[in-house]
Amino acid sequence: MADRFRITLAQLNPTVGDLAGNAAKARMAWERGRAAGADLVALPEMFVTGYNTQDLVMKPVFHDAAIAMVEALAEECADGPALAIGGPWVEDGKLYNAYLILRGGKIVSRSLKTHLPNETVFDEVRIFDAGPLGGPYSVGNTRIGSPICEDAWHEDVAETLAETGAEFLLVPNGSPYYRDKYDTRINQMVARVVETGLPLIYLNMVGGQDDQVFDGGTFGLNPGGALAFRMPVFDEAITHVDLERGPEGWRIAKGEVALLPDAWEQDYRVMVESLRDYMRKAGFAKALLGLSGGVDSALVAAIAADALGAENVRCVMLPSEYTSTESLEDAEAVAQALGVRYDYVPISESRAAVTNTLAPLFAGTEPGLTEENIQSRLRGLLLMALSNKFGEMLLTTGNKSEVAVGYATIYGDMAGGYNPIKDLYKTRVFETCRWRNANHRPWMMGPAGEVIRPSVIDKPPSAELRADQKDSDSLPDYPELDAILDILVDQDGSIADCVAAGFDRDVVRRVEHLIYISEYKRYQSAPGARLTPRAFWLDRRYPIVNRWRDPS
């Protein structure tokens, strides 16, 4: 029997629906593996379709085309190593999430996903049928078990594979990022290694899809849980990994352990990669945003420059009579530091025209929120006109604190196609700006150095829709608000939990009320990068009309 088994691990970035493009990536990886003398070339879960397909994969013409693409790929990759690729599979009229093994021009084996995730962003129970517990597949004389993603988070699949002769585990994943998730993955996989006594390779994809970013970080564990290698997070990479057989069975040869950045860097990378891939996969090359002089739009401008390059970003200042001199100066300074295009489009004349048009209908009423929102909606109108005229995607700039309590104008500053900071609380916005000023990485296309000057970060936040306005006029100060939101939203806690944490009951009740009445806004808001397991969209699905309030 062979004493060495080489796997080529393809940590690549598929595009949902691009069957030919994804198959071409797989073929490229296979050719790299063949040149390196690999026995097996492995790609992640559902790679041929891209992931997460949601209901698209249920469409018969789509999953039939995906299966046909894998069959064609098998014929093209007949002369060389085996190829393992994730994709849909239909058997006895049932649709499965499968891992397909290609060798000698055919699909020779398949593993079917047993445990279908049905929480956070996943809804696989309504999409796929659950496969039965099965045994390993053979590549040459070596028997390999492949629990598919969620299957490796449950002990029964891995234990069944070990009991039926698997010599090591290869786990294909489509596992999206949330903060500190790597530690959770490692802990789960160590448990499988300890239970089975087998080496384990965790293969994850990379790339952005809608709100999710798959962060790679493919790794291998030897019996006992020792880390044998780790591939980079977020980057496409192809790595050849050797397993060597000794008296105690297979062991993964020691390889390079790539650096794992801290949570601040990973969050920022996710916001950059999600915007970059969303734009690229949707067919947009350029972006624009309203640059107000505030911290949120400054951070989005920096993210856009890092994702797309400064030459592909347009920032627009749309001042009214309430815009302060400091905001004008700060916005221009941010644009200059980033090197992006900066346009100045005052809205005073447009606002006067709308005010005069509505004056007969508004006669006898007091000016208030309606008049303030006219300014925001005028800005949205003008920005959307620029977007339509020049083919630039409009980015929105509302942070998670504002998205949670509806502190944004629907059809105004909420207008746009993507929001990179949608899952970033305001208190983290401040710290992320400071992090970006102090750090620069090769994957950032924007300039190094201080790009958001301290006056932008340090001044009291304001929408500047009326004289001397501050966010704190309408909301608790952000440290307090964010702490309450963390309990109510991220921890699914109650008013009583907030009170126990030291917050005023009446303040908490008001925040809870704002969260619930803002649901209709979130249903109409742009998608944005997911940073936590309780991001607003698929992670948290609430009814728009909802009369219930926490009585505690």
Burial readout 254-271 (b: 16 or more C-beta within 10 A, e: otherwise): ebeebeebeebbbbbbbb
Q: Is 474 annotated as a binding residue?
A: no
Q: Is 198 annotated as a binding residue?
A: no
* Secondary structure of residue 436 in the 3-state scheme: helix
Q: Is 290 annotated as a binding residue?
A: yes
Question: Whose structure tokens read 């993603």?
Answer: 149
From the list 465, 470, 481, the residue with the least C-alpha distance to 429 is 481
- 445 CB contacts (<8 Å, ≥6 apart)? 305, 306, 307, 308, 309, 310
User: Of these residues, 25, 113, 281, 286, which one is catalytic?
Assistant: 113
* Secondary structure of residue 206 in the 3-state scheme: strand
Annotated catalytic, 498?
A: no
From the list 244, 240, 261, 262, the residue with the least C-alpha distance to 253 is 244
Question: Whose structure tokens read 């909802």?
Answer: 546
Annotated catalytic, 71?
A: no
Question: Whose structure tokens read 């062991």?
Answer: 251
Amino acid at 131: G
Q: Is 521 annotated as a binding residue?
A: yes
Tell whether the torsion through CA atoms of 286, 288, 293 and 297 is positive or negative. Answer: negative
Which helix H or strand E contains 357, and what residues bound it? helix 348-362
Q: Is 296 annotated as a binding residue?
A: yes
Tell whether the torsion through CA atoms of 532, 537, 539 and 541 is positive or negative. Answer: positive
Are 320 and 351 a contacting pair, CB within 8 Å? yes
- C-alpha to C-alpha distance for 33 and 13, rounded to whole angstroms: 17
Are 531 and 270 a contacting pair, CB within 8 Å? yes
For residue 410, give both structure tokens: 């629907």
Annotated catalytic, 433?
A: no
Q: Is 324 exposed, middle or buried (0-12, 13-18, 19+ CB in 10 A)?
A: middle
* Secondary structure of residue 390 in the 3-state scheme: helix
- C-alpha to C-alpha distance for 508 and 519, rounded to whole angstroms: 17
Q: Is 400 annotated as a binding residue?
A: no
For residue 272, give both structure tokens: 């950059």
- C-alpha to C-alpha distance for 270 and 306, rounded to whole angstroms: 12
- 337 CB contacts (<8 Å, ≥6 apart)? 447, 449, 450, 451, 452, 453
**CA 161 and chain centroid, separation:** 32
Q: Is 422 annotated as a binding residue?
A: no
Amino acid at 197: G
Q: Is 111 annotated as a binding residue?
A: no
Q: Is 402 annotated as a binding residue?
A: yes
User: Of these residues, 25, 45, 315, 480, which one is catalytic?
Assistant: 45
User: Of these residues, 149, 315, 433, 498, which one is catalytic?
Assistant: 149
DSSP codes, 261-317 = --HHHHHHHHHHHHHHHHHHHHT---EEEE--SSHHHHHHHHHHHHHH-GGGEEEEE
Q: Is 281 annotated as a binding residue?
A: no
Q: Is 552 annotated as a binding residue?
A: no
Tally the residues of the chain: 552
Q: Is 291 annotated as a binding residue?
A: yes
Strands 137-139 and 393-394: unpaired
- 300 CB contacts (<8 Å, ≥6 apart)? 289, 395, 396, 397, 419, 420, 421
**From the annotation, which residues make up the binding site for L-glutamine?**
175, 181
**From the annotation, which residues make up the binding site?**
175, 181, 290-297, 373, 397, 402, 521
**From the annotation, which residues make up the binding site for deamido-NAD(+)?**
373, 402, 521
Residues known to be catalytic:
45, 113, 149
**From the annotation, which residues make up the binding site for ATP?**
290-297, 397
